[in-house]
Structure 1
Amino acid sequence: MLSAHFAPVLSFVIALLVAQPSWSEETCADSAVVPTHRLQTALSLPAGTVRPVVTLTRLQLSPDPTPTVVLDGVILPAKAGEAIRAAYFDVMARLVGIPVAVVVSADDPDRRGRLHGIIQLEGGESLGERILAAGAGLADVSFTPCAARFLAAETRARAEKRGIWQQSRIWTDLNAAATGLPDFVLGRGKVASIGRSGRTTYINFGGNFRTDATVRLRETMTSALIAAGRPPESFSGRMVEVRGWADRRNGLDMDLDSPLALQMPDAASDLRTD
């Protein structure tokens, strides 16, 4: 059963899922799919933060080359250490050979000849959801078509302490000095102040803007939060959790592009950092 600590977060995720446009619903539908390939293998992971990459074989003989697919919406963070690699390959080992369908997010391959998209399993669930539900990755909510569903799968794994959620070191402390940037960050900290300059809203995690972490909200992001009943001012003095790619501009600097990237898990039992 899902922990009561995560009920507000999951409710917000479900509400945003309902609001997704129709093309997003089709991309991440629960309905059964017609398989076109078999999952062949998960490729080895280079050092650092990466996206999963898998190879497929066609169900029927074809002169087309075996496709390689980069999974959208899933991040394997370096900060989780070897635990995430072990959890990821454990999941993939159980799925080798299963029939799947590919939904690409870009018509053309990348410069390495790889496709980008999601892989749907026969029952309608995606491979990304299976990985996240096992605690073997983080949801990248910048991939909007499946963001709400992927975050819901991650939330279940967190509540049940699966995979990487048995540890606390995956979080970055936003109230401490930033290290190891740029990188994909799952950060949390207490908001010191909220500021505005032009069309940008700033969430500050300290009083020294040259050294302390800052999260930027563009006008569209601020409007989306207000529409969801979560104006930026409501975060002041609260513990928040953010996710996304962060750079070092004096201190940690992150530009959020989705309301799902910003949460207030005050009561969550996993609120701790190393």
Structure 2
Amino acid sequence: MTRLLHLILALPLVAGHTAFAAPCQFESQGDGRVAAIVDARGVRLDDGREVRLDDGREVRLAGIEPTATTKQALTSLLTGRDVTLRGTDDTPDRYGRQGALIFVGESEAPIQATLLAQGDALVSAEIADKDCAAALMAAETEARRQKKGNWADPSAIKNAESPDDILAGIGRFMVVEGKVLSVRQAGAMTYLNFGRNWTRGFAVTISKRTQPALENAGITLKSLENRRIRVRGWVEGNSGPRIDVRLAGQVELLGANEPTGVRP
């Protein structure tokens, strides 16, 4: 697993004859020892060697969303281990948790990449750095290709043509695939409709302020019509399920003949 993970993370590192640092190597935000796994998203550090954290400070794993097996995997991987926190912003969230990528010992890969490679987590798309985001997505893609962990379940990726299945997961983070049948704008909001019945079918909503980020990533909304895409995010809605796209990494373009659940 370690060798495979390093190969995955090494993919974006070479361009021509120039060597680059490993992705996700952001500024250190402190270090410590993992005293407890709080939940599937957080750990508690408790060690006198902490640099910028108070003892007992909770840390939220940035860049991923948990699955049913994440907490168990974290317990195995992190309990009692000395770790370094890295990230671009150490401002606590509203729950007082610091978001960070977590590195064990001298590893060049964050524990988030390990969880993704094992199929024990989903990419959240919150990491803005392109190289780091690509490395995390590559780890998830390989697990999905090999049907590891979460991806062994055929229902791990929802079909956009089955809105009731998606609506059943309201309030949860989901990955959905399907063909965009129409792109419609209403005021400052653009709707990607996956069903003929706009009120009951699955749809993706994208605000006007999010469009520049998508365009910078090479995605123009009108061009998505009749294209197959994979979208990830929190499911909301009443009569019909919705996912609100706020980050470019939430949308992936799929090939016309690409098998469901796999991306080359």
* 2:95 is equivalent to residue 124 of structure 1: no
Classify 1:117/1:90 alpha carbon distance in 2 versus 1 (closer, same or farther; 3 Å).
closer
Contact 1:140–1:147, Cα closer than 8 Å, also in 2: no
Change (3 A) 1:143 1:125: same
Which deviates more from structure 2 when the two are superposed, residues 135-144 or residues 113-122?
A: 113-122
Aligned to 1:70: 60
Out of 72, 94, 97, the residue aligned to residue 80 of structure 2 is 97
Q: What residue number does 1:174 align with? A: 160
Alpha-carbon distance between aligned partners in 2 of 1:88 and 1:224, rounded to the nearest angstrom? 32
Q: Equivalent residue of 1:175, what SS?
A: coil
Shift of 1:119: 1.6
Higher relative contact order (CA 8 A, sep 6+): 1
Displacement of 1:36: 2.6
1:61, distance to aligned residue in structure 2 (A): 8.7
CA separation of 1:36/1:225 partners in 2, compared to 1, >3 Å: closer, same or farther? Answer: closer
Once residues 245 and 129 of structure 1 are traced to their aligned partners in structure 2, the CA distance between those partners, rounded to angstroms, is 21
CA contact (8 A) 1:70 1:117 kept: yes
Match of 2:35 among 26, 31, 40: 40
Q: Equivalent residues in 2 for 1:94-173 (5 A)?
A: 94-103=77-86, 105-108=89-92, 110-111=94-95, 113-121=96-104, 122-145=106-129, 146-173=132-159
Aligned to 1:5: none
For residues 91 and 214 of structure 2, what CA distance do their matches in structure 1 show? 32
- Which structure 1 residue ranges, 4+ long, deviate > 4 Å from structure 2? 61-64
Structure 2 distance, partners of 1:137, 1:228, is: 24
How many residue pairs align between the two structures?
Answer: 238
Assess, with a 3 A threshold, how the Cα gap between structure 1 residues 201 and 142 changes in structure 2: closer, same or farther.
same
Contact 1:91 1:134 in 2 (8 A): no
> 1:103 Cα shift?
3.6
Residue-by-residue CA offset, 1:2-60 (whole Å, 9 max, x unaligned): xxxxxxxx9xx969xx9xxxxxx9992189x79731233423x4xxxxx5211223263
- Give aligned-pair identity as a percent: 24
> Secondary structure in 2 aligned to 1:206?
coil
Map 1:1-274 onto structure 2 (within 5 A): 28-29=24-25, 36-43=31-38, 45=39, 51-58=40-47, 60=49, 64-77=54-67, 84-85=68-69, 88-90=71-73, 92-103=75-86, 105-108=89-92, 110-111=94-95, 113-121=96-104, 122-145=106-129, 146-176=132-162, 177=164, 178-266=167-255, 267-271=257-261
The runs of 5 or more residues in structure 2 that have no matched partner are 1-7, 16-20
- Secondary structure at the aligned position of 1:189 is classed as strand
CA offset digits 1:215-260 (Å, max 9, x no partner): 1122343333334443223322232210011211431122112222
Say if 1:193 and 1:236, in contact at 8 Å, map to a contact too: yes
